[in-house]
Chain A
């Protein structure tokens, strides 16, 4: 079986991991309720898309 020949330094590990990160979604503003929403999707807050397209939203109690 292949085995490591040399110890892996902390620095090597962290250098490798320097690019391991998540990126934030780019969000757009809902033209109806001005909440931030994901682009090309119906707004989860108000259910609007392209000024119409109403999904049935639950009324707040």
Chain B
């Protein structure tokens, strides 16, 4: 019997829910880890696992079936690229970890990731740190330049005051 196996409605009508789940699944395949609410993570899990099963099959028919669900062609390519790493598993490709609560409505948040996404997540984190350092250095340089210019113009006087006198 399928009693109590209804799944999640997520407060949306059928088409809205389908669109949401497709978007979530596509994002997860592209990013390997996404942060969402616990309920959405649980609702999308079976869909992701079905996609990976298609990816493991790897034939043209599977590719077309995946393409009919996923939102972008890039996601289909990525799916068939990453699925072989789950070759020896039969399901359970995902990990959901609760991380805290959302401000505003208090919904419980979690991240959901493909197993083995740690490396990708780590790379992304490093890239982000580098970018942040670069931006901080640029801001510092710009500030120093502005200060130097100020000193050259007014001989130490603030530029706003100088302009008013003229």
Interface of A is mostly: loop
A56–B111 Cα distance when bound, in Å, is: 12
- Please tell me if A36 contacts chain B, counting CB pairs below 8 Å: no
Q: In the complex, which residues of chain B have a beta carbon less than 8 angstroms from the beta carbon of A53?
A: 97
Q: Which of B98, B100, B111 contacts A40 (CB 8 A)?
A: B98
A42 CB to closest chain B CB (Å) equals: 5
Give the total number of A-B pairs whose CB atoms are below 8 A apart: 17
Q: In the complex, which residues of chain A have a beta carbon less than 8 angstroms from the beta carbon of B125?
A: 56
Q: In the complex, which residues of chain B have a beta carbon less than 8 angstroms from the beta carbon of A40?
A: 98
B156 CB to closest chain A CB (Å) equals: 31
Q: In the complex, which residues of chain A have a beta carbon less than 8 angstroms from the beta carbon of B98?
A: 40-42
- Please tell me if A44 contacts chain B, counting CB pairs below 8 Å: yes
Asked whether, in the complex, the Cβ of B97 is within 8 Å of the Cβ of A49, the reply is: yes
Q: In the complex, which residues of chain A have a beta carbon less than 8 angstroms from the beta carbon of B118?
A: 52
Interface of B is mostly: strand
A52–B118 Cα distance when bound, in Å, is: 10
Per-position binary interface string of chain B over residues 103-131, scored 1 when its CB falls under 8 Å from any chain A CB and 0 otherwise: 00000000100000010000001000000
Task: Count residues of B near A (Cβ-Cβ below 8 Å).
Answer: 7
A55–B122 Cα distance when bound, in Å, is: 10
A55–B35 Cα distance when bound, in Å, is: 11
A54–B118 Cα distance when bound, in Å, is: 9
A42–B97 Cα distance when bound, in Å, is: 7
- Please tell me if B99 contacts chain A, counting CB pairs below 8 Å: yes
A51–B99 Cα distance when bound, in Å, is: 15
A53–B98 Cα distance when bound, in Å, is: 11
Q: Which residues from chain A sit less than 8 Å from chain B, CB to CB?
A: 40-42, 44, 49, 52-53, 55-56
